[in-house]
Structure 1
Amino acid sequence: MWDLPQQEEFAQDLCKLFVACNISWNSASNAQLNLFFSKYVPEAKIPDRRVLSGRVLDFLAAEAEAGMKSKVAGRFGTGQCDGWKTNAKAAVVTTPVTVDATLYINAAHDISPERKTSDNLLQIVLEDITYCEERGIIMVGYCTDGGGDARGMRVRLKRLKPKLTVPPCWGHQVRFKMCRNLCSD
């Protein structure tokens, strides 16, 4: 058996592998996986799925957040949000923030049970702006697509935070105009 620090490093690396390869947490209890490791890495103890997706993942997330905080504190940032449907048809809104030309994933919200309104989107955006500001980011702008709920949210956001720049996304504008021009030919 490995000593505790080496076993903990293995657990963290295994957690990262599961996340990167989109492997189910339940696989940690899979008999074939355990046979493989007992044959090729007998010193390693495979952590239980609850340990991997709990304590180990929480530690790695806190470590990543601490690393991000040191890079963004006191810097100017711009937020953005966009939504889409997953393969499982769940409605998701992501709200990344860009600081010093680096994109940081702030949150991904499952909004399937909610109505898609500008008021609901505004609540998500305000909470995420607060989250960023609590981490020391000086928010200077917030960009969204030009859809109805996003457009309405930008109007309300500008009223609540008049110093914030709230433009529509240039990329969405170009794509829309290109599609409209192609369809009219």
Structure 2
Amino acid sequence: MVRRDVLSGQILNEEVGKADMETRAEVNGQFGTGQSDRWKNITKRSLITSMVNINYKTHLLNVADILSQPKTAESLLEIILKEIEHIKSVLLVTLVAWCTDCSGESLKMQQLLQEHFEWIIVLDCWAHQFNLVVGDILKLKLPMVKVTDQALEVIKWFLSHSITLGLVNDQQRQAQFLVILIVELKVQLIKTAGTKAAAKAKALQILHLIGYCATSSNHLQLLPTLFKQITANLTPSSFSLCIFSTFITTVPMMHEFIMLYLLASRNIGRRLTEKVFKQFYGKPPDNMFCKVFSEYMSRAGKWSDEVMGLDDWHQDAKQNINPIREPFPK
């Protein structure tokens, strides 16, 4: 039997070394995005976990125990700098950006990080932002929030009635709306609820909720409210505007719909790109940049389909079952 100190010492170190070697062989020479977040384990110790995303795959880095440390931007920066050094020297990856939540110390850490590396992109985690905004909205006593409670009630009821849930799953496979089910099989749904009067009454209540939600637009009222809240949180400072500009100029490369409609105007796309250029290089773009940007937007010059060999890449992607999205819609 291996002693505990040997297992947590020599053996664990050897396994960590093997894991680093395997990861390095997989990601060596590629570009990556780092991110970190603070959480508490089951013993209520404060931890910061970091990871790096490379080619849509996440690789865990290290976990720092900060229970006895001050929760400041400087202490967080010290941890992040060690992680960046690990990414560069151990994994041999070129780091492009770092993502954190939007807490006070994280935002200050982002600014300090840019003082160390002027080239790095620092981003707020939008998952955190959405969770915070949605959480605030759900605390309000509004008609549109009531729809969410009703939806949860419907979900819980179906999950506790297996036969009824089976009917729902069959309906989902046909890609039809749930409201069609209550129209066609209303009597059968009530029977599956049980023989007691209370169970049948509850089933009728649930069916009424489904019909109400299908014809009500209260749930759509959340969308403009969410948009206003998120944009308000993003635009109070020039620093946030730089982050937002970076996000807007990056997302279209991944989503053709946004590229087609949001950046349809060359002036909008150019202004956003010029802001990002100035953030990285500390000066406005020159004439060469404007020329290259125009060619890029027009799929001309070295950015044309022919010069970039997009047809060959498409054929290679089909053969390897590895879909590639074009940066611009044709």
What's the TM-score once normalised by structure 1's chain length? Answer: 0.71
Hey, what does 1:37 align to over in structure 2?
A: none
**One-letter code aligned to 1:159:** E
1:129 to partner: Cα distance = 0.4
Hey, what does 1:146 align to over in structure 2?
A: 102
Matched, 1:112 2:67: yes
Distance 1:50 1:119 in 2: 33
Partner secondary structure for residue 112 of structure 2 = helix
**One-letter code aligned to 1:179:** G
TM alignment of 1:132-171, pairs within 5 A: 132-135=87-90, 136-171=92-127
Partner secondary structure for residue 104 of structure 1 = strand
Hey, what does 1:76 align to over in structure 2?
A: 31
Partner secondary structure for residue 108 of structure 1 = strand
Hey, what does 1:184 align to over in structure 2?
A: 140
1:65 to partner: Cα distance = 0.9
Match of 2:77 among 104, 117, 122: 122
Match of 2:55 among 92, 95, 100: 100
Partner secondary structure for residue 88 of structure 1 = coil
Matched, 1:47 2:2: yes
Hey, what does 1:172 align to over in structure 2?
A: 128
What's the TM-score once normalised by structure 2's chain length? Answer: 0.41
Distance 1:142 1:50 in 2: 35
1:67 to partner: Cα distance = 0.4
Distance 2:93 2:74 in 1: 24
**Structure 1 gaps, min length 5:** 1-45
**One-letter code aligned to 1:110:** D
- CA offsets per residue over residues 67-108 of structure 1, 9 Å max, x none? 011111111111111001222121100111111111111100
Hey, what does 2:284 align to over in structure 1?
A: none
**One-letter code aligned to 1:169:** C
User: Could you tell which deviates more after superposition, 115-124 or 172-181?
Assistant: 172-181
1:113 to partner: Cα distance = 0.8
1:119 to partner: Cα distance = 0.7
Hey, what does 1:66 align to over in structure 2?
A: 21
Aligned identity (percent) is 30
Distance 1:77 1:149 in 2: 23
Q: Which has the larger radius of gyration?
A: 2
**One-letter code aligned to 2:124:** P
1:47 to partner: Cα distance = 2.8
1:179 to partner: Cα distance = 1.0
1:55 to partner: Cα distance = 2.7
Q: Higher RCO, 1 or 2 (CA under 8 Å, sep at least 6)?
A: 1
Go from structure 1 to structure 2 and tell me whether the alpha carbon gap of 1:54 and 1:159 turns closer, same or farther (over 3 Å shift): closer
Distance 1:122 1:109 in 2: 12
Hey, what does 1:56 align to over in structure 2?
A: 11
Aligned positions, number: 140
TM alignment of 1:22-33, pairs within 5 A: none
Partner secondary structure for residue 61 of structure 2 = coil
Distance 2:2 2:68 in 1: 34
User: Could you tell which deviates more after superposition, 149-158 or 54-63?
Assistant: 54-63
